[in-house]
């Protein structure tokens, strides 16, 4: 069981944002009892959704951050000035309800996040009707109930947590995420939140958050699409009473990376229609940038993805992807190894019965793919899903 860090309470309600009368909550709130140090990492898409723009502003504002408000079913992206106003109005509604319940929290002390169909306007009447249920549930929702309220096409709830012993005592981290499709670095159609009860310096927290995101969420790929709504939040409220000392910050960063890494893996494993997770490790490149070009080109390749779905050790597709990646390397230096079986070396396939050797390993979920580009210091890693019939089925009728 993953423990909710001290000083955080969760809430959820069914606002029926999808309009299908689903017996599932689609609105949730993570609230800290005390002001929290907050960090955020967001989509690089130029069409940033209204909640992304509002969250970025609130993170840089003067008011302290107390919580994250998430809705699923409506992305509130590409909705113009009305979408921005609707986002602000939703925060004001929740703040008013919290004030009535004895919690004096300003609207810009909340960070909004939305997921769902792009272009649809928020149904503000549904917000108004759902907020009493939301505020009445504060502290009554567990971690799984919270994350299920974020889900859209996800097949399972994604949660991870850890505890860390520091000089001043124990601190907890708990993370949740949603996402299965429109997932590609940088970030993904994903919303994610990490709660931590340590007392940590704001600049240090934001720095470790950016670095941890780069090594985890920014190294995954399902379908090569980057969403308008990607948002990763981190709240650290100090409720444990444990202050993170300067020399302990790397320990907290490692714990944070562990939590984000588990969530990132779950995103790829739950890729829409996915049956495989490729663990692509590229080494020996002249630079990290060259290694990353190869990792991403191979991981995004539809031909490589479909080969992995079909359990086909088609080394030619991997080599071709590496060759068109734009990376600078000598083709004669390239070595490709799939599930421990060396497929390609010195410009040609190795003399092995790939189909027989890999029949059983390729039936597994996790497929290690190692690519050596030479003897340079550059390296990169990427998690990528396969591409199945299920992906087309799910995405061909997403709005219906």
* Catalytic positions: 189
Show the CA angle centred on residue 243, arms to residues 242 and 247, nearest 5°. 125
Query: Helix (H) and strand (E) counts for the chain?
Result: 11, 15
| Chain mean position to CA 199 | 24
| Strand, coil or helix: 170 | strand
Assigned token pair, 326: 């734009």
| Strand, coil or helix: 253 | helix
Of 166, 132, 150, 141, nearest to 236 (Cα)? 166
| Strand, coil or helix: 163 | strand
Q: Can you list the positions of beta strands (E) in 237-375?
A: 277-284, 335-338, 341-345, 348-349, 366-372
Cα within 13 Å of Cα(191), Cβ side: 30
Alpha-carbon distance of 177 to 144, in angstroms, equals 11
Of 361, 359, 337, nearest to 281 (Cα)? 337
């Amino acid at each position: 069981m993953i423990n909710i860090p001290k000083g955080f309470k969760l809430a959820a309600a069914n606002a029926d944002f999808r309009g299908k009368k689903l017996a599932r909550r689609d609105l949730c709130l993570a609230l800290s009892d005390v002001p929290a140090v907050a960090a955020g990492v967001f989509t690089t898409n130029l069409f940033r959704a209204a909640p992304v723009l509002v969250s970025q502003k609130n993170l840089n504002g003067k008011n302290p951050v107390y919580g994250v408000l998430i809705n699923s079913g409506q992305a509130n992206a590409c909705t113009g000035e009305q979408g921005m106003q609707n986002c602000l109005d939703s925060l004001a509604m929740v703040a008013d309800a919290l004030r009535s319940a004895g919690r004096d929290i300003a609207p810009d002390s909340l960070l909004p996040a939305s997921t769902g169909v792009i272009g649809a306007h928020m149904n503000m009447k549904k917000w108004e009707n759902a907020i009493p249920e939301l505020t009445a549930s504060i502290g009554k929702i567990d971690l799984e109930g919270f994350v299920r309220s974020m889900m859209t096409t996800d097949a399972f709830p994604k949660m991870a947590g850890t505890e860390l012993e520091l000089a001043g005592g124990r601190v907890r981290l708990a993370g949740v995420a949603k996402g299965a499709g429109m997932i590609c670095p940088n970030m993904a159609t994903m919303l994610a939140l990490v709660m931590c009860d340590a007392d940590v310096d704001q600049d240090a927290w934001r720095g470790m958050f950016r670095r941890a995101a780069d090594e985890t969420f920014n190294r995954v790929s399902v379908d090569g699409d980057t969403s308008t709504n990607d948002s990763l939040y981190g709240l650290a409220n100090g409720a444990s009473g444990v202050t993170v000392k300067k020399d302990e910050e790397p320990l907290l960063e490692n714990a944070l990376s562990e939590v984000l890494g588990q969530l990132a893996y779950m995103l790829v494993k739950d890729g829409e229609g996915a049956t495989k997770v490729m663990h692509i490790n590229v080494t020996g490149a002249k630079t990290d940038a060259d290694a990353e070009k190869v990792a991403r080109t191979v991981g995004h390749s539809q031909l490589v993805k479909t080969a992995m779905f079909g359990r086909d050790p088609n080394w030619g597709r991997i080599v071709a992807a590496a060759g068109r990646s734009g990376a600078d390397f000598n083709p004669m230096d390239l070595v490709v190894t799939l599930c421990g079986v060396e497929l390609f070396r010195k410009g040609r396939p190795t003399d092995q019965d790939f189909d027989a050797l890999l029949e059983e390993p390729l039936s597994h979920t996790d497929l290690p793919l190692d690519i050596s580009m030479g003897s340079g210091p550059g390296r990169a890693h990427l998690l990528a899903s396969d591409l199945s019939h299920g992906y087309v089925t799910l995405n061909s009728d997403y709005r219906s």
